[in-house]
Amino acid sequence: MAEYRLTTPLSEEDVRKLKVGDTVFLEGTIFGIRDANLIRMFEHNVPPPVDLTGAACIHTAPNVRKVNGGYEKVCIGTTTSSRMDRFTPGLMGQYGVRAIIGKAGMMEASMEAMKKYGGCYLAIVGGAASWETEKIQAIEGVWWEDLMPEAIWKFRVRDFGPLIVAMDSEGNNMYYQVKARARDKLADIYKRLGV
């Protein structure tokens, strides 16, 4: 299992070399996305007002404070990714997103998109918002503020990790692998419990 330090925007080559179990630290910028802004992009067909080519996007709706016309971070944490599965093909196919950062993993639609376009899913630790907030250097931009807090956010990051490659561009999904191994053990567990 390798460890990588990658700078955004990410290239297809950057992402294709990543395999499940590898560790990534990101430098540069990441974009905060989630339900409301993705629904606007793909169900109301409004293109994102920012270039997402090579982007790493994180599933979040941050808690922020408005200061001097800009925003200051208060508490930024990651939400469950599975709700956003249907948007990954559009994010990667239409807009060039290369990495999705989230918790608890994604499913078939995302796995197909990652294989086809060269994308990956990077697992961050859920519930560790204090750590995540500390790792994010600053809020550099915000678009679609009317969707607050589910606007599109641009965060500057340094040494952002460890992120675990949990889904890679070869169609491997660590959550599926872990569950498959658990299912293999079920018969033995049932037997011990007398089930």
Judged by CB under 8 A, does residue 67 bind other proteins?
A: no
**Which C-beta is closer to other proteins: that of 6 or that of 52?**
6
Single out the residue of 43, 51, 72, 134 in contact with other proteins (rule: CB under 8 A). 134
69 part of the interface to other proteins, by CB under 8 A = no
Confirm or reject binding of residue 106 to other proteins (CB under 8 A). no
Contacts of 12 (CB under 8 A, 6+ apart): 98, 117, 118
32 touches other proteins (CB under 8 A): no
How is 120-159 classified by DSSP, letter by letter? EEEE--TT-HHHHHHHEEEEEEEE-GGGTTSSEEEEEEEE
Cβ atoms of residues 2 and 129 within 8 Å: no
190 binds other proteins (CB under 8 A): yes
Strands (DSSP E) along 34-151, which ranges?
56-59, 63-67, 70-75, 99-102, 120-123, 136-143
Binding other proteins (rule: CB under 8 A), the pick from 15, 111, 142, 166 is 166
Q: Is 66 in the site for other proteins (CB under 8 A)?
A: no
Residue 179 binding other proteins, by CB under 8 A: yes
Distance from C-alpha of 150 to C-alpha of 143, rounded to nearest angstrom? 10
Contact segment (CB under 8 A) with other proteins among 32-40, 50-58, 111-119, 171-179 equals 171-179
- 107 touching other proteins, by CB under 8 A: no
Interacting stretch for other proteins, rule CB under 8 A, among 9-17, 28-36, 84-92, 122-130?
122-130
Q: Does a cis peptide bond (omega within 30 degrees of 0) precede residue 162?
A: yes
Positions in the binding site for other proteins (CB under 8 A) = 1, 21, 23, 60-63, 75-77, 79-80, 82, 103-105, 123, 125-134, 149, 162, 164, 166, 174-175, 177-179, 181-183, 185-186, 188-190, 192-195
